[in-house]
Amino acid sequence: MKIGLDILGGDFAPESTILGAIEAQKVLPTEQRIVLIGDEHAAKQRIQELGARIEDFDFVHAPDNIGMGEHPTKAIAKKPDSSIVRGFDLLKNGEIDSFASAGNTGAMLVGALFSVKAVPGILRPAIATNVPKLKGGSGLLLDVGANADCKPEMLNQFAILGSLYIEHVLGIKSPKVGLVNIGEEEEKGNILTTTTYPLLKNNSQLNFIGNIEGRDLFTDLADVMVCDGFTGNVILKMAESFYVVTKKKKINDEFFDRFNYEQYGGTPILGVNAPVIIGHGISPPEAIKNMVLQSRAMIESNFIDKIRSVFN
Amino acid sequence: MKIGLDILGGDFAPESTILGAIEAQKVLPTEQRIVLIGDEHAAKQRIQELGARIEDFDFVHAPDNIGMGEHPTKAIAKKPDSSIVRGFDLLKNGEIDSFASAGNTGAMLVGALFSVKAVPGILRPAIATNVPKLKGGSGLLLDVGANADCKPEMLNQFAILGSLYIEHVLGIKSPKVGLVNIGEEEEKGNILTTTTYPLLKNNSQLNFIGNIEGRDLFTDLADVMVCDGFTGNVILKMAESFYVVTKKKKINDEFFDRFNYEQYGGTPILGVNAPVIIGHGISPPEAIKNMVLQSRAMIESNFIDKIRSVFN
């Protein structure tokens, strides 16, 4: 198994990514190797300085970096030697089994769509994020930004993708699917949700439990929470801001602490032909480590094959 | 001045509404009178039991009540003697200057649209809610549920309505208007926000500061935060749930405490021909009192005339 990691991606790269990779490597068996993609010479030097062994890692030299503020499509076209472009080349050619980066989110999304591409039958892949639950555990919210405008059939596919992820990667059988909406009743909502509701209700592949509201996101009502990428992105950023506020105010609470993205690693792109994970720009080493372990879980569970067999 | 209050509306009515009315009356000068709409006999009896004077209030007998779960349009048609229907009759006929209720939200919205109606030129009135700011004070978020699907011109009008409310009712000059979106840049967003952005930017009536994201809702970036009613409702209910969580966890913090709707009274319907305020279903006496004072502020500021002059 080869787990690809962009060591140039993220606000604290490469220090944070190398530290995270070293921590992750310690818990991996010998046959599971991390492939570090970035400035090979600098990486090797830093790993040795940190007292780790360079022979425990694979390296792919990609000296260029796509900055956080760069236009995704333009940057990908102009920077063939960037870690993100090289990473997707490797992924496409089967030289790595997964690719993770805390770099430019748009470039990761565009790179995934252009290289490994969407699984046949999938209208639009989605970005999914973990949502901590008040009673422990976590749910999955998607889409959180890949698709600002959605059609009902897209939300129906997000529900399937999220269910497969929860079931196969997280190991929860028959996950409960909720449609993020503004009322409990079937007829409530906007045009998108009222037309999506019957699709979910009549989809025998889903354990659809109905509408969930903004107040239900952190309860146990649903494991998979489906919405358009605009709504999901607003929810995600608002939740993050609440977490930041509790930290600033030195409120230490087990629930709010679980909003800490470090614990989750990153947010997977669901619906493309390989495991791809996007990390938070400000990922510290712990988040990088968990992103590597999350990549492994997606590979080990044969998640992509599960998607392909459902959408075939 | 006659401030109309539905004493049958809300989960704890009429006890909570009568207690709130008594508290509000104490701070009103003689010429500002609260008109209690509901079961007159029961109300008078309870007011006397509580040691207050019935001559300090006006009464309009409306023995029937529209329940929280009733279908708004059907209930309004079937219950002419309900407090909400009677309240809007009084408002339409100028017998009261404002109408507030913690009852059925949908019935309040439908009642307002059918009786006093939208101000000419307004496409669709919106429901606005206070949002506490981290550094103190509060902003206004609209729409939070009256219009699940919106057109750009509606959002442009919400921006004007919100600005007028902040400026004239809350006394903040040239309030900053932000468009709730999923990126800072002008070109980011869904179809609705990308087409709304130029309208707001080119609207000389507004102090438009650009896009705001989910993480900016509680910062000082914008005073008026504009979005479609679907997004706004999800935000509102999510914020409320965070407040409930902090209370459950006995986290006492000045910022989170300001999420307490009791402090704000209710959410005004902006864009109709009279001050109309909807209270939270679980409004305690303090919230009812503040809803009465908020009604007064809307009357005293001649807010409706301001809207009419702008949209004329």
Q: Which domains does chain A have, with CATH numbers?
A: 1-116+270-300 (3.40.718.10), 122-260 (3.40.718.10)
Q: What is the pLDDT of residues A168-206, one digit of tens each?
A: 999 999 999 999 999 999 999 999 999 999 999 999 999
* pTM to 2 decimal places: 0.94
- To probe the interface with A, which of B238, B255, B256, B280 has the most A CB atoms within 10 Å? B238
Percent of chain B with pLDDT over 90: 85
Q: Would the CB atoms of A229 and B193 count as touching at under 8 Å?
A: no
Q: Would the CB atoms of B230 and A190 count as touching at under 8 Å?
A: yes
Q: Would the CB atoms of B217 and A240 count as touching at under 8 Å?
A: no
3-state secondary structure of B284: coil
Specify the pLDDT at position B252: 81
Specify the pLDDT at position A304: 97
In B, which residues are within 8 Å of A145 by CB distance?
A: 182
Amino acid at A21: A
Q: Would the CB atoms of B245 and A149 count as touching at under 8 Å?
A: no
For range B139-164, the mean pLDDT? 97
Q: Would the CB atoms of B234 and A239 count as touching at under 8 Å?
A: no
B41-45, B147-151, B260-264, B271-275: range with lowest mean pLDDT: B260-264
Tell me how far apart the terminal alpha carbons of chain A are, to the nearest angstrom.
25
A–B interface: beta-carbon pairs under 8 A: 105
Neighbours of B31 (CB within 10 A): 7
Q: Which among B190, B214, B240 is the nearest to A215, CB-wise?
A: B240
Specify the pLDDT at position B156: 98
**Helix intervals (H) in chain B:** 15-27, 40-49, 72-78, 83-92, 105-114, 152-164, 191-201, 229-248, 254-257, 285-300, 303-311
Sign of CA dihedral B63, B67, B71, B72: positive
In terms of phi and psi (left: phi > 0; alpha: psi -120 to 50; beta: otherwise), the region of B66 is beta
Burial of residue A68 (CB within 10 Å: 0-12, 13-18, 19+) is middle
Specify the pLDDT at position B261: 67
Residues of B with CB under 8 A from a CB of A: 134, 145, 148-149, 180, 182, 189-191, 193, 213-218, 228-231, 233-242, 244-245, 249, 251, 253, 255
Specify the pLDDT at position A261: 67
Amino acid at A14: P
Specify the pLDDT at position A245: 84
Q: What is the pLDDT of residues A199-211, one digit of tens each?
A: 999 999 999 999 9
Q: CA B15, CA B10: separation in Å to the nearest integer? A: 10
Specify the pLDDT at position B57: 98
For range B59-78, the mean pLDDT? 95
Q: Which helix (H) or strand (E) holds A255?
A: helix A254-257
**Higher-pLDDT residue of B208, A137:** B208
Specify the pLDDT at position B91: 98
Q: How confident is the model at residue B259 (pLDDT cuts 50, 70, 90)?
A: confident
In B, which residues are within 8 Å of A241 by CB distance?
A: 214-218
In B, which residues are within 8 Å of A242 by CB distance?
A: 242
Q: Which among B215, B230, B241 is the nearest to A241, CB-wise?
A: B215
Q: Which helix (H) or strand (E) holds B267?
A: strand B266-270
Please give, rounded to a whole number of angstroms, the shortest distance from the CA of A146 to a CA of chain B.
11
Q: CA B248, CA B241: separation in Å to the nearest integer? A: 10
Which stretches of chain A score pLDDT less than 50?
A: none
Per-residue pLDDT at B144 exceeds 70: yes
Q: Would the CB atoms of B240 and A193 count as touching at under 8 Å?
A: no
In B, which residues are within 8 Å of A221 by CB distance?
A: none
Neighbours of A41 (CB within 10 A): 10
Nearest chain A residue to B135 by CA: give it. A245
In A, which residues are within 8 Å of B218 by CB distance?
A: 241, 245
Residues of A with CB under 8 A from a CB of B: 134, 145, 148-149, 180, 182, 189-191, 193, 213-218, 228-231, 233-242, 244-245, 249, 251, 253, 255
Per DSSP (E only), the strands in chain A are 2-6, 33-38, 58-61, 98-101, 126-132, 138-142, 176-180, 207-212, 224-226, 266-270, 276-279
For range B73-90, the mean pLDDT? 97
Q: CA A124, CA A272: separation in Å to the nearest integer? A: 9
For range B151-159, the mean pLDDT? 98
Is this complex's ipTM strictly greater than 0.85? yes
Q: How confident is the model at residue B40 (pLDDT cuts 50, 70, 90)?
A: very high
Specify the pLDDT at position B153: 98
Bridge partners (DSSP) of residue B130 are B140
Q: Which helix (H) or strand (E) holds B38?
A: strand B33-38
Neighbours of A249 (CB within 10 A): 15
Q: CA B152, CA B192: separation in Å to the nearest integer? A: 6
Specify the pLDDT at position A262: 67
For range B104-129, the mean pLDDT? 96
Specify the pLDDT at position A227: 98
